[in-house]
Amino acid sequence: MYWADPSTLELIGLLIDQEPTASLLIMLTARPDFVPPWLARSHITPITLNRLESQHAAALIARLAGMKPLLGEVVDHIVTKAGGVPLYVEELTRTILASDILRDTGERFELNGPLSSLAIPDTLQESLMARLDRLPQVRELAQLGSVLGHEFAYEMISGLSASNESDLQEGLSQLVDAELLYQRGRPPRARYIFKHALVQDTAYGSLLCRTRRQHHLQVVRLLESGFSDIVETNPELLAHHYCEAGENELAINYFCTDGARSLRISANKEACPS
* Position 268 pLDDT exceeds 80: no
Domain assignments of the chain as residue spans, ordered by start: 1-49, 54-120, 135-207, 209-274
Residue 1: the pLDDT is 47
Per-residue pLDDT band at 274 (split at 50, 70, 90): low
Rounded mean pLDDT of 16-37? 88
* Position 2 pLDDT exceeds 60: no
Residue 210: the pLDDT is 96
Q: How far apart are CA 21 and CA 137, in angstroms?
A: 54
Class of domain 135-207 (CATH, top level)? mainly alpha
Instruction: Work out the mean pLDDT of the chain and round it to a whole number.
Output: 89
Rounded mean pLDDT of 154-168? 94
Sequence-distant contacts of 80-87: CB under 8 A, at least 24 apart: 81/120, 82/52, 82/57, 83/51, 84/50, 84/51, 84/52, 84/53, 84/57, 85/51, 85/52, 85/124, 86/52, 86/57, 86/60, 87/124, 87/196, 87/198
Give pTM, 2 decimals: 0.78
Q: How far apart are CA 213 and CA 147, in angstroms?
A: 9
Least confident of 111-115, 158-162, 203-207, 252-256: 111-115
Give the contacts of 121 (CB within 8 A, at least 6 positions apart): 91, 92, 95, 127, 129, 130
